[in-house]
Chain A
Amino acid sequence: MSEKLYLDEPEIELEEVYCRPTEALYDVPFHYCPGCGHSVVHRLLMEVVEELGIQEETIGVAPVGCSVFAYHYMNVDMQEAAHGRASAVATGIKRVLPDKYVFSYQGDGDLAAIGTAETIHTVNRGENILMVFINNGIYGMTGGQMAPTTLPGQVTSTSPYGRDVSLVGSPLKMTELVANLPGAYYVTRQSVHNPNAVRKLKKALTKSFQYQKLKKGTCFVEVVSNCPSGWKMTPVESIKYIEEHMFPYYPVGDIKVPKE
């Protein structure tokens, strides 16, 4: 024990309440912009993998987008998929390794635009995988272009006067859409905008990995996230934007839960 600061300091055994994942998450700085939600979700995923003791049984699929290098942070076997195809790649892995834990990780452009067919059919087949869907309403890596989930009126580099829904359609609520498919087992929308939300997201991810063992269908977890750089905001402003603008369109909560 360290020496006492005060003479009357009582002897207290401190309980360890948090420890970053030591094995499943590499001890390296994230390359993400300050305030970005990706790093939090990466850490949570690997926290869950480590806590469940499934690091050696897990195979992840990285997307194209800002999180293309997810395997530089997540210390599990991983495959890097083409843009939009992560759930097809995950299907291929899971079908030949049905007893392993398989997850895909994609952004909104990847999962809800170019990969729409793969997303819908993967869930419709009820592939026993976890699909993580990061929705920040923008193409971050290519420099802030309009995404399928960009809000009406939202300014991006390809909707410079705000998203005109009469021209390009409305933001796609992919999570509600896949929840309608019989192959979906657990579908939820969570966020990472404050500590409470982070705790709830962790629970959702934990459940999703546990459900995989049951082989009853796809677990689909949307994470409403932010992109301070793409949104041209400070991290604090971006969190306010999530609360004031994203949540009314993308309400947080479970959309489909298993019948107990």
Chain B
Amino acid sequence: MEKEIRNDEPRLMKGNDALAEAAIRANIDAYFGYPITPQSEVIEYLTREVPNRKEKNIVVLQAESEVASINMMYGAAGAGARVMTSSSSPGISLMQEGLSYIAAAQLPCLVVNVVRGGPGLGTIQPSQGDYFQATKGGGHGDYRLIVLAPNSVQEMADFVFEGFKLAEKYRNPAMILSDGALGQMMEKVYLPEDNSLPKNIPDWATRGKPKGGKQRVITSLHIQPEKMEQINHELLAKYELLQSEVRFEEVSTEDAEVLLVAFGLSSRICQKVVDLGREKGIKIGLLRPITLYPFPSKRLNELADQVALMMSVEMNAGQMVEDVKLAVNGKVPVFFKGRMGGMIPTPEEILQSLEDHFENIKVVG
């Protein structure tokens, strides 16, 4: 047995392990999952650790597929439990039908996507290629997930708590959009305090109807179009409310002439680009969206009045850049720098790309 770790003592942990430990500390009632690289440590950690913490009464079940995991999650979340699943890109694709049902039935739960390179079976190396899938709904119909993008092992742990808080507040599925590097790399982490996330049993949960009370039904079926449209309006109203939860981080934006926009692992690399650029006298700033949905459009639009250009840096073929363009609405040129297929851009190549665009603008301007 390991000795108990105090919260104020840092640990050196893998991102996936830190996330799994945070889930235990967040008192999840259940975890359903299926192994896939590069996130298998999550289910391995839970199947190893949970039996040592019997008092927590956590269900950990390896399902027969991601299709089964997400539907087990639907059942357990519908019964009022705090539930999590995790997977990587191809497995998350398999969950999309279930996620659409969960979003439509308004069930709070947490999905973790430790993204790998695609499309198809792709590679097990890190990628941000699932941005569209995560932020635009992903499955069929009009719905959104709350999407949190960590950029450190610390945030892999912290965002489990944040994810459940938001999911339960808005009765909406939340997703942690991580990547293979954040899942696999080891960093110093201060684990969230055990038992510090309050839990309530919601009155809509199907746990056996109260005596003399009304039956509870968890469903996404509304066959009358008038009713279905009304449900859509209710969802839209909720997503509107969600906009107030937008979170982002700014680095050196006060005097920035050019702005990098990057999330997750890319934003870690871009912090270095900011330093390198400033050493050369280029006033670079960085805006890092922490919530990818809701997206910090308003702040980007404000910054568009200040900077000469923006460049979205992503480990994909250019996905978030579309949201940046929508946010600034033509006020400034928006460029894109990306690597794909599991490749990670270096600070130098990002800086070079940024300098080239900046130079061109000056010439044209």
Contact = CB atoms under 8 A, between A and B. Distances in A.
Contacts of B217: 71, 77-80
Contacts, number: 127
A161 B206 CA distance: 45
Nearest to A80: B219
A82 B98 contact: yes
A88 B68 contact: yes
A110 to B, nearest CB: 12
A75 B215 contact: yes
B206 A57 contact: no
A76 interface: yes
A117 B63 CA distance: 10
Contacts of B206: 59, 77-79, 93
A80 to B, nearest CB: 4
Interface stretch (A94-102, A148-156, A186-194): A94-102
Contacts of A206: none
A56 interface: yes
Contacts of A117: 64-65, 67-68
Nearest to B220: A80
Nearest to A69: B221
Interface stretch (B72-80, B126-134, B184-192): B72-80
A59 B73 CA distance: 16
A93 B68 contact: no
A61 to B, nearest CB: 7
B71 A85 contact: yes
B72 A91 contact: yes
Contacts of B101: 82
A85 B102 CA distance: 13
A118 B207 contact: no
Contacts of B221: 68-69, 80
Contacts of B30: 92, 95-96
Contacts of B71: 81-82, 85, 88-89, 92, 118
Contacts of B218: 78-80
Interface in A94-123: 94-97, 100, 117-118, 121
B64 A93 contact: no
A218 interface: no
A55 B213 CA distance: 11
Contacts of A88: 63, 67-68, 71-72, 74-75
B79 A59 contact: yes
Chain A CB within 10 A, most for which of B207, B211, B218: B218
B29 interface: yes
Contacts of B215: 71, 75-78
B216 interface: yes
Interface string B48-91: 00000000000101011101100111111111110100000000
A92 B72 contact: yes
Contacts of A89: 71-72, 74-75, 78
Contacts of A121: 63-64, 68
A58 interface: yes
A196 B118 CA distance: 58
Contacts of B198: none
A50 to B, nearest CB: 13
B298 interface: no
A88 B68 CA distance: 6
A78 B207 CA distance: 9
Nearest to B214: A75
A90 interface: yes
A92 B32 contact: yes
A202 to B, nearest CB: 22
A91 B77 CA distance: 12
B208 interface: yes
A118 B75 CA distance: 14
Nearest to A95: B59
Given A80-B220, A117-B65, A93 B209 contact: no
A76 B33 CA distance: 29
Contact of B74 (A57, A92, A94, A118): A92
Contacts of B281: none
A81 B76 contact: no
A79 B105 CA distance: 10
Given A78-B215, A100-B208, A118 B64 contact: yes
A81 B64 contact: no
Contacts of A95: 30, 59, 61, 72, 76
B210 interface: yes
Nearest to B206: A77
B95 to A, nearest CB: 11
A183 B72 CA distance: 18
B97 interface: yes
Nearest 3 CB-CB pairs, A to B?
Answer: A92-B75, A77-B206, A89-B75
Given A79-B206, A91-B72, A95-B30, 5 more contacts: A77-B208, A80-B105, A85-B74, A91-B68, A96-B81
7 contacts: A56-B209, A56-B210, A75-B215, A77-B217, A91-B68, A91-B72, A118-B64
